[in-house]
Structure 1
Amino acid sequence: MKKQNLVVVGGGSTYTIGMIMSLIAEKEQFPLKSITFYDTDAARQERIAKASEIILREKYPELESFSYTTDKAEALTNADFVFVQIRTGGLAMREKDEQIPLKYDSVGQETCGPGGMAYGLRSIGDMIELVNDLRSFSPEAWILNYTNPAAIVAEALRREFPDDKKLLNICDMPAAIMVSYAGILGKEVFDLVPEYFGLNHFGWFTKIYDKEGNDHTDTIKRAITEDGFIPEDAEIANDPSWIKTFKQVERMVTDFPEYLPNTYLQYYLYPSEMVTKEDPENTRARQVINGRQQRVHDLADQIIADDSTANVELEVDIHGRYMIRVAASMAYNNGDIFIVMVENNGTIASLPDDAMVEVPAMITNRGPKPFTVGHISTFYKGLIEGQLAYEKLVVDAYFENSYEKALQALTLNRTVVDAPVARQILDDLIEANKDYWPDLYHQSKKLVTQ
């Protein structure tokens, strides 16, 4: 089995140590020759990298090489696989993404609604530049992209790189939900086989089988509505915000019992209710800064100070395991089935061929081979078409530098709907993002003066 050269872009991420633990746990399925971290923030990366180096020394001694750098050419040359997890603007901009919509009684969330648009318009340019650089330094590398908001990023990359067959956008949220399904059933998450359709952060499980073909869907629905639903993945199990989010699944299954929802649908189905639960002074971004980020940095500091992992508790999480299992199936043509984002091309019959949909696919060394979903009913089709139009308009706004398209996008989004409110939010987001967004900033000023 060939050993792979792996690059982690966004090496300073708070998810990276969990990724390293996952690589160690999965090293028999995805053996590595080298790991390289790349990040534009040297100080942020160094802390995580030094801790990772100690972890790898203790738990992955057969790894031939570990390095970290801010030099793009050094990092990206001769890569076999590249895992991308970048956040343009960092958590500081995420906090603005969440606070600004809340001023206008609209959902403040990092990937949904106005916050998702803001984050997406920041992410697109950096992702296009990164893919171009990667193809210059490692033309044949597999690129697995976790960068959010994945739906908007995937649509932009589809347009910019229509012929790149080794670029795959994925999200671990369906897998994180399935970890809780597995807990209900007393099974391991990778023993479950899902049927699923939708867009990223906007989809539904229609069936959950095990590998023997037994259907557990009704058992899961009954357990959720009778016993409740809790997050069980190590990264989110003790997070109060995620506990509330999983609790909301019980409400969604009661109101719309046909399918099992992605947790993010709470923002679109109950937007007014979600607004009332948020505190602009303690948004999810602030909770992450004071919570996961502080916890991970303290963990890294402890490992570095001790030059050992003896005094810390390290856990494997689904964020890393999912990415690695997908990569392994690509590398060794395993044909495993995972939920990923692909160009529709008839997979969901009711949607345009060029939609970037999220569906189960067999993962091979020739890329993903999606399973046909067929037609979907009016309620789900209507919801998806509206969200898809929003996503495409956001990407239009980026490529066309169009204030009008951005306004249309926010007006369509179920978390906003009201056009005057959409304009107020958009103008505030433009001001906040003037160092990141395309020329919407100048165009909006021009519209005011005309």
Structure 2
Amino acid sequence: MRLAVLGGGGFRVPLVYGALLRDRAKPRVQEVVLYDVSAQRLETIGHVLRQLAAGHDDPPVVRTTTDLDTALREADFVFSAIRVGGLAGRTADERVALELGLLGQETTGPGGIAYGLRTIPVALHVAERVAALAPRAWVINFTNPAGMITEAMRRVLGDRVIGICDSPIGLIRRAAAALGLDPARVSPDYVGLNHLGWLRGLVHQGRDVLPGLLADDVALVKVEEARIFGPEWVRTLGALPNEYLYYYYFTREAVAAISGPTRGESLLGQQDAFYAAVRARPDEALAEWLSARRQRDATYMAEARDATDAGEREAADLEAGGYEGIALALMAAIARGEPATMILNVRNGSAVPGLPEDAVVEIPCAVGGAGVRPFATRPLPGRFLGLLQQVKAVEQTAIEAALTGSSDLAVAAFALHPLVDSVTTAHRLLDGYRARIPELAAVFPS
């Protein structure tokens, strides 16, 4: 099989290739085509992949290209992890919001809207080229904001584009581990949107064990999310929230905690140093990447943990792997017909009552050779459903804004978001992002 990786010069591409190296079942990916707009970044990641492959029998062949059509032609799977505007754009996503006293975060709130507005036109172009050159390919989307981008790409690719995220599986692993259970032997009742969901139940041997976890002081504090949100609040909710809900439930604390460099600014410095180091010492590419990865993983969502004294990330979390494992499992389930249950970003239909049929939601799904089938979910209480409905309306407004180039709709997307407090501020957000991000200004020139 041939896998095209869009954003192939990105820092996390070695995680995907490492997962492919460990996969020995048949059929397997035999060729990986890395596409990126930067030939220099492709060269750097190429050094890392060659060193990763050393000592492996029959590693997947790696080719690189800066031509999108070349990458997509004859692909069986397409993994999309592009970043329109690069990390410089991400830092602007964060800083423009912070300067207006709002949350500055990559996927949540104003930053996520700005990221989506400039990314959707590019993602639609990718979808159109996939449809033309590899119509039988499955597209696995990790481009953020993943739910919004997946929903936009569905307009061209329908069910052949599936969004993935590693946040839900991480939450489920931590909850199961706190109870001494094998995460592979529990069935999660998880429902929401990307970076906006709740674990409402955890069934083991026919019994929901989540209420017992919520009631157990000793076990509960083993779960990072419970330490971040506080045991009292998760018990009030009756569920374990996705870690990104910290930005909704503790907005003021989240904004106050970003007192130094933002996450984007920190990553920009780290990655600039990594790419420069590999250019200077290509023989040490893998060692440089491993060192930078440890630093990156250890500081993930550090502002939330620091503000709540949740402590450092558990070593088991860092070692368990994330989205690369989900991507490989999804490819294996489809290509080999190996039945699996996974939490994915897919079309709602009637799975989540109260949300539009065409909305992309993040829920458990059955996956196999025929594709993906979402499971129906229990009705949501108002305290969850209302937030989902509001944020989904924002996402769909942002999609229409990006497709039409309507500044009025872009302002509406900002203004309707629960983390933006006025229409006047929404106008200032759009003006600020246009001034600092050329890729967004190109979509909304006036």
> Do the structures match in fold with TM over 0.5?
yes
Matched, 1:197 2:191: yes
- 1:96 is matched with 92
Q: Of 246, 253, 258, which aligns to 1:266?
A: 246
- 1:110 is matched with 106
Q: Of 321, 325, 346, which aligns to 2:325?
A: 321
Mapped partners of 1:361, 1:412: distance in 2: 30
CA contact (8 A) 1:30 1:324 kept: no
Structure 2: state its 5+ residue gaps.
Answer: 294-318
TM-score normalized by structure 2?
Answer: 0.86
Residues 417 and 29 from structure 1, CA distance in 2 versus in 1: closer, same or farther, beyond 3 angstroms?
farther
Q: Of 253, 259, 265, which aligns to 1:286?
A: 265
Residues 316 and 222 from structure 1, CA distance in 2 versus in 1: closer, same or farther, beyond 3 angstroms?
same
CA contact (8 A) 1:302 1:312 kept: no
Alignment: residue pair count? 420
Residues 310 and 379 from structure 1, CA distance in 2 versus in 1: closer, same or farther, beyond 3 angstroms?
closer
Kindly state the Cα deviation for residue 421 of structure 1 after the two structures are TM-superposed: 1.9
RMSD: 2.8
Matched, 1:181 2:191: no
TM-score normalized by structure 1?
Answer: 0.85
Spell out, residue by residue over 1:212-263, the C-alpha distance to the aligned partner (whole angstroms, 9 max, x if none).
44533134434677653566xxxxxxxxxxxxx7742336844633111111
Mapped partners of 2:240, 2:131: distance in 1: 39
CA contact (8 A) 1:246 1:263 kept: no
1:25-36 mapped onto 2 (5 Å cutoff): 25-28=22-25, 31-36=28-33
Mapped partners of 2:24, 2:45: distance in 1: 20
Q: Of 133, 137, 142, which aligns to 2:133?
A: 137
Mapped partners of 1:379, 1:125: distance in 2: 33
Mapped partners of 2:344, 2:285: distance in 1: 38
Mapped partners of 1:425, 1:64: distance in 2: 45
Kindly state the Cα deviation for residue 436 of structure 1 after the two structures are TM-superposed: 3.4
AA partner of residue 185 (structure 1):
L
- 2:313 is matched with none
Kindly state the Cα deviation for residue 299 of structure 1 after the two structures are TM-superposed: 8.8
CA contact (8 A) 2:85 2:439 kept: no
CA contact (8 A) 1:252 1:266 kept: no
Mapped partners of 1:64, 1:317: distance in 2: 20
Q: Of 209, 217, 229, which aligns to 1:216?
A: 209
Structure 1: state its 5+ residue gaps.
Answer: 232-244, 443-450
Q: Of 283, 288, 292, which aligns to 1:305?
A: 283
CA contact (8 A) 1:119 1:148 kept: yes
Report the structure, 1 or 2, having the larger helix content.
2
What secondary structure does 2:203 align onto? strand
Kindly state the Cα deviation for residue 22 of structure 1 after the two structures are TM-superposed: 1.8
1:58-137 mapped onto 2 (5 Å cutoff): 58-59=55-56, 61-63=57-59, 65-137=61-133
CA contact (8 A) 2:2 2:77 kept: yes
What secondary structure does 1:274 align onto? helix
Mapped partners of 1:30, 1:265: distance in 2: 39
Kindly state the Cα deviation for residue 58 of structure 1 after the two structures are TM-superposed: 2.1
- 1:242 is matched with none
AA partner of residue 345 (structure 2):
M
